[in-house]
Amino acid sequence: MTVYAPLELNRLSSRAEFEALVERAKARWDALWNGDHTVVTVGVGSSSIAKGALDVLAACQQAAAGQPIIVRQVGVDGADWMEVQVQVKRPGAPTVYYGNVEPHEIPDLLAGLLQSKAVGVDGDVAYEGIPPLKEHPFFKYQHRIVLRDVGVIDPESIEDALARGAYSAYLKVLFDLTPEETIAEVTAANLRGRGGAGFPAGVKWESGRKARATPKFVVCNSHEGEPNVYKDRRIHEGDPHRILEGILIACIAVGAERGYNYIGGEYPLAIKRFRKAVQDAERLGLIGKNVLGSGKDVEFRVRTGGGAYICGEGSALMYSIMGVRGQPRTKPPRSVEEGIWKRPTVANNTETLSNIRDIINNGGAWYASIGTEKSAGTKLMTVQGKLKTMGLVEVPMGITLRTLIEEVWGGMRDGYKFKGIQTGGVSAGPLKEEHLDRPVDFDSLTDLGGMLGSGGFVVFDDTVCAVDFARYLTAFNRFESCSKCVPCSRGNPALVEILDRIRFGRGSLSDLALIERTSKHIIELSLCGLGQVAPMPLLGMMKMYPEEFRAHIVDGVCPTGTCPIGSRQTAATTAAAAD
Amino acid sequence: MTQHVSPTANRKEIDLDEVREIMSHFKPRDYQEAQELILSALQEINERFGWVSLEAAEIVAEHLGTTANRIYGLLTFYADFRTEPRGNHFMLLCHGMSCYVAGSSRLVQELADRYGIRDGETTADGELTVQVVNGCLGVCDRAPIVKLDDKYYGNLTVESFNEAIQRAIAAGKSGESAK
């Protein structure tokens, strides 16, 4: 139908031309939602495709043929538990969200015969007995800034993005603000790095701006190689322009000639949608020489990784961009002095850069007022494990783990009992039931050996053995060690070997001291940040579940029956197979 | 990562003209950009053919002004690349934390016990190649999950896992350009 046809995209040479295009995009968006037609929206992302989203989309398109129905796709909004999600907006009615839709149900759904699968409606009031979606516990606690348009706009349509305010902050930074003022807003926002380290982004930008060597670069770290995090992938799949805008603003603020986005190679759909976003932005002249007649130039390149966890480390990532093995180097010099091609390079996490648009538009003080004093703003959090309503959420910093687990993520599925929650991916330890009332922010979990990290949590139930889990986490670090420095490349295999001894019932109490000693070597002597935290999950497991380690060693039993103690499997096959 | 491919496995040849065609889209403007493009080029070839042969690596090296040696260094460092052809069917076995806590170790064990393969290896009959994903396939609520050829199989038990493999093998080859 013509109301939602793509707009003609030509190179824009002035601010006025850009603003005129935004007006057209907004008119197109309004026409989409206020016509005499039905709008059917399917959430299509890598997670929902695995559940048949493309078949659902095809079924919708088939059912819409010849009807006054517009079918569109959006990214997945984080509610994995209700995938495949279909939103239906009928004339004069609010949008209704349907969950767990199968392709064959589409005709019924469009005929209004599938109300049992309606999860919620848009807006503040119930409609035909369906409660507002935002009152669902999964959405109730969320404060969506980064995810505001994820699941709302078509990620492959720059028109949708423009109608929802994309590049409005970029425009300000190009024309209204000086680089100093831009950085001052980011500093005032107290925006800390969302990749795990929590380093203030404003400080980093400031050192980047002050660095004297040229050219300078900005890199967005979208590698996300941890075995438990999928937040950045979802932003790429749902709202790529938000990331691109953040990178471009960073380029202008620090005076960088080129921006990069380094995306993990495991994310084909994220790469595809992000490349499309870059192409569209180039077509409009938002990237290139003399952007919108502002006299400012900015270049952009997308680079993809090859499945090496270590490339999430800043210097390794830059080596990977330069086409060599991603192995970290000693610091200083920091990358903001010597990064890509030995030039000053500012590296930020995807989520950090995705907050920039709203910080520039609403002011740093606004952002700092969200969350806690030391950890401002919101955080994307993902969870894994046997929970009822799993998915990606964006919540204010300072929410408690208990609220997250029991309400937002719906508590444990029937038949599973909560045992602990692994925090900080493969870089920190687990927490137990009694720690769940702690607020979640950058600093509140560290004294217990936990960590917010990049916001990935794994809830495990009482069928998971602490020793085996510790081995899994240590084996991950062993596999992903880049082999450059000896403490990490030799130390982690040694830890796995000791753990295997314990798992096979051949451990002794002195092994626990040996683990502590070996870990100390790895922590103190490893070259990069990832090596320095590699033994943390193991140490955390030993701290939280000492009785399980003792049971393996002293009593010769695995309390959960996971480990090969007492079974007939040979050491060689199991150890090899579990890699 | 060791990769054993049996001599009976279907050795898929890489069409070098196709490689040259892929490379013609890479147009570096300077030496630095050429180096930045090496990984991207290898990824495209790896995705198209499922592996990167020495001959393909040489074409990439020549086009981007580097050596096959350096390319081999990259292929063996980054886990996504293969230097041997895949079997008829290709499985990504997610071994992320969600899948681990849901029991993916049992699937890894089953591959070793029943099919005799470990990460990166191909069965002796050349039917199945497995790659254990250390990261995350991102479909955590259906853990443990595998992607076999183009389809996802979630909430797996050892039985349904075997069933999925047998069904895929019975259905025949997944096509020349294993995705």
- Give Cα A21 distance to the centre of its chain: 31
What ipTM, to 2 d.p.? 0.90
Closest by Cβ to A321, choosing from B36, B101, B108: B36
Q: Which DSSP category does A360 fall into?
A: H
Among B71, B100, B142, B157, most A C-beta atoms within 10 A, so best to mutate, is B100
Question: What is the nearest CA distance from A308 to chain B, expressed in angstroms?
Answer: 5
Mean pLDDT (whole number) for A527-553: 96
In CATH, the number for domain A466-577 is 1.20.1440.230
| pLDDT at residue A188, rounded to an integer | 97
Q: Nearest chain A residue to B38 by CA: give it.
A: A323
3.40.50.11540, 3.30.300.30, 3.40.640.10, 3.30.470.10: which CATH number matches A158-367?
3.40.50.11540
| pLDDT at residue B150, rounded to an integer | 86
Question: What is the nearest CA distance from A352 to chain B, expressed in angstroms?
Answer: 21
Predicted confidence band at A566 (pLDDT cuts at 50, 70, 90)? low
* A247, pLDDT greater than 50: yes
Among A47, A318, A389, A464, most B C-beta atoms within 10 A, so best to mutate, is A47
Question: What is the nearest CA distance from A128 to chain B, expressed in angstroms?
Answer: 30
Q: What is the pLDDT of residues A96-131, one digit of tens each?
A: 999 999 999 999 999 999 999 999 999 999 999 999
Predicted confidence band at A226 (pLDDT cuts at 50, 70, 90)? confident
* The domain defined by A36-135 carries CATH number 3.40.50.11690: no
3.30.930.20, 3.40.50.300, 3.40.50.280, 3.10.20.600: which CATH number matches A370-461?
3.10.20.600
Contact yes or no for B79 and A578 at CB 8 A: no
| Distance, CA of A320 to CA of B39 (rounded, Å) | 8
| pLDDT at residue A577, rounded to an integer | 47
Whether residue A564 has a cis bond before it, omega within 30° of 0: no
Closest by Cβ to A50, choosing from B77, B79, B154: B154
Q: Put residue B35 in one of left, alpha, beta given phi > 0 → left and psi -120 to 50 → alpha.
A: alpha
Predicted confidence band at A229 (pLDDT cuts at 50, 70, 90)? confident
| A247 touches A261 (CB < 8 A) | yes
Q: What percentage of chain A carries pLDDT values higher than 90?
A: 92
Question: What is the nearest CA distance from A1 to chain B, expressed in angstroms?
Answer: 32
Predicted confidence band at A26 (pLDDT cuts at 50, 70, 90)? very high
Amino acid letter, A6? P
| pLDDT at residue A567, rounded to an integer | 56
More confident residue, A225 or B115: B115
| Distance, CA of B85 to CA of B114 (rounded, Å) | 22
Identify which of A460, A448, A579, A463 has the alpha carbon closest to the alpha carbon of residue B97: A460
| pLDDT at residue A1, rounded to an integer | 58
Q: What is the pLDDT of residues A183-222, one digit of tens each?
A: 999 999 999 999 888 999 999 999 999 999 999 999 999 9
Amino acid letter, B55? E
* A578, pLDDT greater than 70: no
**Under DSSP, is residue B49 helix (H, G, I), strand (E, B) or coil?**
helix
Predicted confidence band at A572 (pLDDT cuts at 50, 70, 90)? very low
Identify which of A359, A330, A426 has the alpha carbon closest to the alpha carbon of residue A201: A359
Task: Confirm or reject contact between A420 and chain B (CB < 8 A).
Answer: no
Tally C-beta pairs within 8 A across A and B: 157
Identify which of A333, A336, A355, A352 has the alpha carbon closest to the alpha carbon of residue A344: A336
| Distance, CA of A313 to CA of A449 (rounded, Å) | 21
Contact yes or no for B105 and A472 at CB 8 A: yes
**Least confident residue range of A332-336, A543-547, B4-8, B65-69:** B4-8
Q: Locate the domains of chain A by residue range.
A: 36-135, 158-367, 370-461, 466-577
Q: What angle do CA A75, A80, A86 make, to 5 degrees?
A: 55
| Distance, CA of A373 to CA of B95 (rounded, Å) | 37
Which residues of chain A lie closer than 8 angstroms to B36, CB-CB?
301, 303, 321-323
Beta bridge mates, A378:
A396
Task: Confirm or reject contact between A259 and chain B (CB < 8 A).
Answer: no
Which residues of chain B lie closer than 8 angstroms to A232, CB-CB?
none
More confident residue, A97 or A424: A97
| pLDDT at residue A30, rounded to an integer | 96
Domains and CATH numbers, chain B: 16-77 (1.10.10), 89-171 (3.40.30.10)
Contact yes or no for A576 and B119 at CB 8 A: no
Identify which of A66, A109, A65 has the alpha carbon closest to the alpha carbon of residue A89: A109
Question: What is the nearest CA distance from A52 to chain B, expressed in angstroms?
Answer: 9
Mean pLDDT (whole number) for A382-390: 92
Q: What is the pLDDT of residues A148-190, one digit of tens each?
A: 999 999 999 999 999 999 999 999 999 999 999 999 999 999 9
- For chain B of 179 residues, list the mean pLDDT of each consecutive stretch of 10: 38 86 96 96 92 95 96 94 93 93 94 95 94 87 92 95 95 56
* A286, pLDDT greater than 90: yes
| Distance, CA of B51 to CA of A420 (rounded, Å) | 40
Contact yes or no for B96 and A51 at CB 8 A: no
Which residues of chain B lie closer than 8 angstroms to A46, CB-CB?
137-139
Which residues of chain B lie closer than 8 angstroms to A425, CB-CB?
97
Mean pLDDT (whole number) for A25-42: 96
